[in-house]
């Protein structure tokens, strides 16, 4: 019988990796709470039209990366490829705009994209993300970016911040028009995909990695020249706030992001340490999306970070709580052993009771293997052995043993 294996692009996260995952998640949560965000737990499936209307019909995500299926009721369902669309949908559907003028939400969980897996890329991957609804002020942009930076800093993961602005919808429209014209004229020198992009997603050409395309787009018109005074001012303010917060950033006028819904600010935190998948967290503003999906006009912005990519970069993990291993010397001391383990746990010590058969030596080997800080030998007395020094002390009753451990640990 052949072994059952996990599906391509999916992974079991266990052991050290599970610790990293949990740690990243915990750090992010604490920081979200500091910034007064509330959690939203979203469904993993949505009506497929949600992503077509938000992420964009022409994007790679929608065109070739979505897990789509028809359920038994004949509905067209998609496993969510990202979190913003669902959050916006929930914001509208649950009428959160009626609760207060602003709403700050965070989420965590699996996303699904059908791509060729490689380092830092999986078909099921996990993101933490946050969205702010109802604030147009550039303060929100600066605060969101600072929040992401707080997370990265706490995790001690260095990444450079790149920012850009795409202007509002009008700015963007006229810029795209000019850009299209520029690209049309140089069509024959652009790569194949960029030729398609001219129609589907002209901004993306700016981000192309092909050398000849890069050379051409060096000359391309810049968004900056198409920004309204207001958009420009917004952008300047954000930079001012970031500077005040001591946040270092690089302006990258080519940074456009792949999703359709962005307006004004876009940003990415990038590292060079994990190859091509260097973007570790990214986000931006999407002031028209809520309206587009049927809600009231609501300015909004958000970001998402890839947990797996953060895991690749995470070097430090907080130390585990010290482990106490309880060894009943012989079978006659099993009851005393389990009671000892029980009261140690009651006192919040991380405790392992050795239950295997065999020589005391083999049990000690196991205790050592498990990483015991202390071993308690249970017989007609209690012997506490410090595993780093090898010293041992004797106690007549459990209470004394526990009192001493409370002081030590």
Residue 118 touches RNA, criterion: CB under 7 A? yes
Residue 354 touches RNA, criterion: CB under 7 A? no
Least gap, CB of 14 to RNA (angstroms): 13
| Of residues 352, 244, 299, the one with CA closest to residue 88 | 299
- Alpha-carbon distances of 109 from 22, 24, 128, 130, 300, rounded to whole Å: 12, 12, 7, 12, 21
CB atoms within 10 A of CB 124: 17
Given 74, 209, 246, 318, the residue binding RNA (CB under 7 A) = 209
Residue 119 touches RNA, criterion: CB under 7 A? yes
Least gap, CB of 95 to RNA (angstroms): 27
CB atoms within 10 A of CB 169: 12
Residues 137-176 that bind RNA (CB under 7 A): none
Residue 268 touches RNA, criterion: CB under 7 A? yes
Residue 358 touches RNA, criterion: CB under 7 A? yes
Q: Choose between 246 and 359: whose C-beta lies nearer to RNA.
A: 359
Residue 275 touches RNA, criterion: CB under 7 A? yes
Q: Choose between 225 and 359: whose C-beta lies nearer to RNA.
A: 359
Where is 376: in which H helix or E strand?
Answer: strand 372-378
| Of residues 182, 166, 131, the one with CA closest to residue 298 | 131
Given 46, 168, 171, 207, the residue binding RNA (CB under 7 A) = 207
Residue 387 touches RNA, criterion: CB under 7 A? yes
The contact pattern for RNA, residues 31-70, with x = CB under 7 A and - = no contact, is ----------------------------xxx---x-----
Q: Which listed range, 37-45, 101-109, 342-350, 359-367, lies at the site for RNA (CB under 7 A)?
A: 359-367
Give 174-241 as a DSSP string.
Answer: HHHHHHHHHHHHTGGGS-HHHHHHHHH-GGGGGG---HHHHHHHHTSPPGGGG--HHHHHHHHHHHHH
**Phi-psi region for residue 115, left (φ > 0), alpha (ψ -120 to 50) or beta?**
beta
- Alpha-carbon distances of 58 from 63, 111, 277, rounded to whole Å: 6, 19, 22
CB 109 within 8 A of CB 127: yes
Q: What's the rounded Cα separation, in Å, for the pair 31 and 35?
A: 6
Given 304, 314, 344, 402, the residue binding RNA (CB under 7 A) = 304
CB 190 within 8 A of CB 196: no
Residue 276 touches RNA, criterion: CB under 7 A? yes
Residue 282 touches RNA, criterion: CB under 7 A? yes
Residue 339 touches RNA, criterion: CB under 7 A? no
Contact residues for RNA, defined by CB under 7 A? 2, 5-8, 11, 59-61, 65, 82, 113, 115-122, 125, 127, 193, 204, 207-209, 257-259, 268, 275-282, 304-306, 308-309, 329, 358-362, 364-369, 375, 377, 379-380, 383, 385, 387-388, 390, 392
């Amino acid at each position: 019988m052949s072994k059952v294996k996990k599906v391509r692009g999916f992974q079991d996260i266990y052991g050290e990796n599970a610790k990293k995952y949990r740690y990243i998640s915990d750090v992010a949560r604490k920081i979200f709470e500091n910034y007064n965000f509330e959690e939203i737990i979203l469904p993993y499936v949505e009506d497929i039209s949600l992503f077509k209307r938000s992420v964009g019909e022409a994007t790679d995500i929608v065109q070739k990366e979505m897990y789509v299926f028809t359920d038994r009721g004949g509905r067209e369902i998609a496993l969510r490829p990202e979190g913003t669309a669902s959050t916006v949908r929930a914001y509208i559907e649950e009428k959160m705009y009626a609760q207060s003028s602003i709403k700050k939400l965070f989420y965590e969980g699996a996303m699904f994209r059908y791509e060729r897996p490689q380092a830092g890329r999986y078909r099921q991957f996990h993101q933490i993300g946050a969205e702010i609804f109802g604030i147009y002020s550039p303060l929100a942009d600066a605060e969101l970016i600072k929040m992401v930076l707080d997370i990265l800093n706490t995790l001690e993961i260095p990444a450079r911040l790149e920012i850009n602005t795409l202007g509002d919808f009008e700015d963007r429209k006229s810029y795209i028009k000019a850009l299209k014209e520029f690209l049309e004229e140089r069509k024959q020198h652009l790569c194949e995909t960029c030729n398609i992009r001219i129609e589907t997603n002209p901004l993306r050409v700016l981000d192309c990695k092909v050398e000849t395309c890069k050379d051409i787009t060096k000359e391309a018109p810049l968004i900056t020249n198409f920004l309204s005074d207001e958009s420009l001012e917004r952008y300047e303010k954000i930079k001012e706030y970031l500077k005040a917060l001591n946040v270092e950033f690089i302006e990258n006028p080519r940074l456009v992001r792949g999703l359709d819904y962005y307006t004004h600010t876009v940003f990415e935190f990038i590292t060079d340490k994990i190859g091509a998948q260097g973007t570790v967290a990214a986000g931006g503003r999407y002031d028209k999306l809520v309206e587009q999906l049927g809600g009231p006009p609501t300015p909004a912005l958000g970001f998402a970070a890839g947990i797996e990519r953060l895991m690749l970069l995470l070097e430090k993990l907080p130390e585990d709580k010290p482990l106490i291993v309880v060894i009943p010397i012989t079978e006659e001391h099993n009851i005393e052993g389990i009671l000892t383990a029980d009261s140690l746990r009651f006192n919040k010590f991380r405790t392992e009771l050795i239950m295997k058969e065999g020589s005391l030596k083999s049990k000690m080997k196991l205790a050592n293997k498990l990483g015991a800080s202390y071993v308690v030998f249970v017989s007609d007395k209690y012997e506490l052995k410090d595993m780093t020094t090898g010293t041992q002390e004797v106690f007549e009753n459990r209470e004394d043993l526990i009192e001493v451990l409370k002081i030590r640990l």
